[in-house]
């Protein structure tokens, strides 16, 4: 995956050295999260809605209730902006002005198209497996009523950029002699111990795929 997704709209103006535009770099970030924010405008009013997603090649799938205003509004030619951010650490400099964060982010521009038929069910499985691999095979698949109540949209990954910051603080030379601590406080998402449904069978073991969840490792922390 070496496609260049750089356009005039996705080109980084500030800190351009942190920009990445190849599909491989962008996909690597998308694959390490499952929460995105979808931005769109309705009659001049902007909205930004968080939702889960899954990726298949150069397409990003999102889903939700067929009654969802977001999905109804962006189904078609309405421009959307999808963002994903992984926060890797707080960068603590010797001056407040130079504090920063280590992060990996993606901005994707485009439009969403409705997914139907067999591909719709496949997209739902893809989203589920992207969040918790192994879960789809264990649970009941959606029935016809649930499928009708669910909308799946796909956004082509054709115009996008990634921005990545790593490393220590970038302090001014005049501040380097200060005695205050400076460095990076690493951050990651960590899965806690699974909590079973109290109405379920207490003798059921926790599935191995759930015990194997380690979002910190997934996010490269």
**What's the CA gap between 213 and 215, in Å, rounded?**
6
Task: Supply the pTM of this predicted model.
Answer: 0.87
Judge whether 84 and 35 are in contact, CB under 8 Å: yes
Q: Give 217's pLDDT tier (boundaries 50, 70, 90).
A: very low
Which of 112, 105, 129 lies closest to 68, judged by CA? 112
Judge whether 188 and 215 are in contact, CB under 8 Å: yes
Domain ranges of the chain: 16-89+101-167
What's the pLDDT score for residue 3?
59
What's the pLDDT score for residue 30?
96
Give the tens place of pLDDT for each residue, 97-137. Answer: 999 999 999 999 999 999 999 999 999 999 999 999 999 99
Does 153 or 70 have the greater pLDDT score? 153
For residue 139, with 0-12 CB atoms within 10 Å meaning exposed, 13-18 middle and 19 or more buried, which class applies? exposed
Report the pLDDT averaged over residues 60-86: 88
Which of 147, 146, 102 lies closest to 120, judged by CA? 147
Assigned superfamily of 16-89+101-167: Electron Transport, Fmn-binding Protein; Chain A (2.30.110.10)
Report the pLDDT averaged over residues 11-26: 83
> With 90 as the cut, is the pLDDT of residue 212 above it?
no
The CB-side HSE value for 65 (13 A sphere, CA atoms) comes to 3
What are the DSSP E strand ranges found in 119-194?
A: 150-156, 159-165, 183-186
Question: Percentage of the chain surpassing pLDDT 90?
Answer: 68
């Amino acid at each position: 995956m070496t496609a260049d997704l750089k356009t005039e709209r996705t080109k980084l103006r500030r800190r351009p050295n942190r920009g990445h535009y190849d599909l491989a770099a962008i996909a690597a970030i998308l694959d390490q999260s499952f929460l995105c924010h979808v931005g769109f405008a309705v009659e001049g009013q902007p909205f930004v809605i968080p939702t889960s997603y899954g990726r298949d090649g150069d397409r990003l799938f999102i889903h939700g209730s067929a009654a969802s205003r977001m999905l109804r509004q962006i189904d078609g030619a309405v421009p959307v902006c999808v963002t994903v951010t992984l926060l890797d650490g707080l960068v603590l400099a010797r001056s407040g002005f130079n504090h920063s964060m280590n992060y990996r982010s993606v901005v994707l521009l485009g439009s969403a198209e409705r997914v139907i038929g067999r591909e719709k069910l496949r997209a739902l499985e893809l989203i589920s497996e992207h969040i918790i691999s192994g879960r789809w095979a264990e649970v009941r698949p959606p029935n016809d009523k649930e499928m009708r109540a669910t909308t799946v949209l796909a956004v082509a990954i054709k115009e996008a950029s990634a921005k990545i910051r790593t490393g220590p603080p970038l302090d001014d030379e005049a501040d380097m002699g200060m005695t205050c601590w400076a460095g990076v406080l690493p951050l990651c998402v960590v899965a806690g111990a699974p909590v079973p449904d109290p109405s379920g069978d207490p003798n059921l073991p926790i599935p191995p795929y759930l015990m194997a969840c380690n979002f910190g490792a997934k996010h490269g922390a």
